[in-house]
Chains A and B, each alone.
Chain A
Amino acid sequence: MASTDQGVSSPGRARIEARTLREDRWWVQPLVTFVVFSGFVVFATFRAFMGRDYYAEPYLSPFYSPCLGDCVEGASDFGQPFGWWPLSAALIILVFPLGFRMTCYYYRKAYYRAFWLSPPACGVAEPHQAYSGETRFPLILQNVHRWFWYAAVLVGLVLTYDVVLAFRPMPAEYAVGDGETSGVHMGLGTLLMLLNVAFIWLYTLSCHSCRHIVGGRLRHFSKHPVRYKLWTWVSRLNESHGTWAWYSLFSVAIVDFYVFLLATGTIQDVRFF
């Protein structure tokens, strides 16, 4: 609670004791965000540090892709340049998607509200005495979002490749019916990975920095018809950037958890063909 001569109680302003007069359940949204994000962070940290059960042929957990450390057989499609890395291979790569999300304009809004309470909701006083926004270290680093976007595009490409691999023909022991016939495989894991990569792309391409780079930075759309077209597409996606952020957050966790269940032998993959 702010002291009495701060913020909405500053001298000269209308004297009203309550820090908000909102009567709706304004606290629901930040609370849900807080719970879900915290849950994800706990889950992701746990899984990232585990360093095992991230590969169940042909599925690779997105937390570990590309697997550049000392990874299990079959998981490293791009070699093991960091084979000397003593810790979990996830930690090598996770910094990029994590950085992308941490500096994302949508996530910033969500966690500033839910974790920082700055502000918890519109028209609800925040508890902090001082505020300098994103003008100082470390928050001034939010301006590097664009760099993480470049990296996120690369990660997106790798995850897309992983989905292609998830259609790989399977060894005979996994065969349905009369052994491996089609040369193509699809299981529930493939489907989940496909959905995941779709959400990842929707999230990545709807990014505000992407919108700026493809065309938003121009002053004359009329002189750049192709970039204008791209900008209008990205703009349309951008309207739901927050939605894609949530969907892709869930989908990443679900794929990882599914791979975990397969890798630990808890369940069997549901095989379509």
Chain B
Amino acid sequence: MAYDLKMRVWRGDADGGELTDYSVEVSEGEVVLDALHRLQATQTGDLAIRWNCKAGKCGSCSAEINGRPRLMCMTRLSDFDPADTITVTPMRTFPVIRDLVTDVSFNYEKARQLPYAELGPRDADGKRRMMQVDVERGQEFRKCIECYLCQDVCHVVRDHEDNKQHFAGPRFFIRYAELDMHPLDTHDRRQLAQGAAGLGMCNITKCCTEVCPEGIHITDNGIIPMKERVVDRKYDPLVWLGNKIGIRNKDNDGRTEV
């Protein structure tokens, strides 16, 4: 069943722009990205869109659809009434380049400031051993497709440009959590997470989790456990006392603070 979809698409660049109305033919089973591609092929050859896999796996086509951060390739038109107008804008947390394309280099800069995995030596036979239950938590975070929708929706930087300097954002908090939960890793990055990455800026209002297209429990499984680990390190007198009198949590021993 084909019909004419009414769309409002933000067109412009860093100097300004506006929501522009279009009408484009769409058919059953299509997603917002299909509609925009048809627009591109038939009406506006120079409409800038960033996209790659069109299967929800690469995380390139992030935008805001009716004000909500979404992947354009995973937003089905059948979720809307055919009479509705669908509004598509670029992500509003990052500088715009053109039309729906934003400059996401903020995230790449944060990635460079991040610590990395530092494993001990391999076993005698040249392999490593880790149990499935010990890698599962980290695996959830490694599902991240780096669409940066969590970074986009996070009010800490969305509503406060000046915080960008001190705040790594949800995407990188789960990277910290992943490394901290790695069974063979040898570094302790809790101080870094709290200090350099700005974990304390997060007020766990959970929008990152709400928009994650991969369904990663960013807040409950990543940020909050990381906050609790920081509490272990900094705010728990029982742990402090335990350390003083020699009762230590052996499972976290042998890591070097970085």
A and B touch in the complex (CB under 8 A): yes
Is A66 among interface residues, defined by CB-CB distance under 8 A?
A: no
CA distance A10 to B161 in the complex (A): 7
Known A-B contacts A21-B87, A133-B156, A219-B183; A119 and B10 likewise in contact (beta carbons under 8 Å): no
Could you tell me the distance in whole angstroms from the C-beta of B132 to the nearest C-beta in chain A? 8
Q: Which of A89-97, A159-167, A220-228, A261-269 is the contact stretch?
A: A220-228
Interface size on A, residues (CB 8 A): 57
Is A45 among interface residues, defined by CB-CB distance under 8 A?
A: no
Interface size on B, residues (CB 8 A): 62
Is B228 among interface residues, defined by CB-CB distance under 8 A?
A: yes
Is A108 among interface residues, defined by CB-CB distance under 8 A?
A: yes
CA distance A125 to B159 in the complex (A): 6
Tell me whether A123 and B163 are in contact (CB under 8 A).
Answer: no
Could you tell me the distance in whole angstroms from the C-beta of A210 to the nearest C-beta in chain B? 10
Could you tell me the distance in whole angstroms from the C-beta of A239 to the nearest C-beta in chain B? 8
Tell me whether A118 and B203 are in contact (CB under 8 A).
Answer: yes
Is B16 among interface residues, defined by CB-CB distance under 8 A?
A: yes
Smallest Cβ-Cβ distance to A227: which chain B residue? B251
Smallest Cβ-Cβ distance to A22: which chain B residue? B67
Interface residue SS majority, chain B: mixed
Smallest Cβ-Cβ distance to B162: which chain A residue? A130
Is A77 among interface residues, defined by CB-CB distance under 8 A?
A: no
Tell me whether A105 and B160 are in contact (CB under 8 A).
Answer: no
Q: Which of A11-19, A46-54, A246-254 is the contact stretch?
A: A11-19
CA distance A132 to B102 in the complex (A): 26
CA distance A241 to B206 in the complex (A): 14
CA distance A220 to B163 in the complex (A): 35
8 Å CB interface, B75-124 against A: 87, 89-90, 92-96, 102
Tell me whether B64 and A21 are in contact (CB under 8 A).
Answer: yes
Interface residue SS majority, chain A: loop
CA distance A118 to B156 in the complex (A): 9
Is B66 among interface residues, defined by CB-CB distance under 8 A?
A: yes
Smallest Cβ-Cβ distance to A14: which chain B residue? B96
Q: Which of B32-40, B51-59, B230-238 is the contact stretch?
A: B230-238
Within the complex, which residue of B17, B205, B236 is in contact with A119, where a contact is CB–CB below 8 Å?
B205
Within the complex, which residue of A6, A22, A208, A219 is in contact with B161, where a contact is CB–CB below 8 Å?
A6
Smallest Cβ-Cβ distance to A2: which chain B residue? B159
Residues of B within 8 A of A7 (CB): 158-161
Tell me whether A14 and B158 are in contact (CB under 8 A).
Answer: no
Q: Which of B23-31, B168-176, B219-227, B240-248 is the contact stretch?
A: B219-227
8 Å CB interface, A231-257 against B: 238-239
Q: A15-B17, A131-B201, A146-B228 are in contact. List 8 more A-B contacts (CB 8 A).
A: A21-B67, A21-B89, A112-B205, A122-B69, A211-B225, A219-B252, A223-B251, A228-B133
B-binding residues in A (CB < 8 A): 2, 6-8, 10, 12-16, 18, 20-24, 105, 108-109, 112-113, 118-119, 122-126, 128, 130-135, 139-140, 143-146, 208-209, 211-212, 216-224, 228, 238-239
- Can you list 6 A-B contacts (CB < 8 A)? A14-B92, A134-B202, A140-B200, A208-B225, A219-B180, A222-B134
In the A-B complex, list the 8 residue pairs whose CB atoms are closest, starting with the nearest: A21-B67, A22-B67, A133-B201, A222-B131, A122-B207, A12-B95, A7-B159, A212-B228
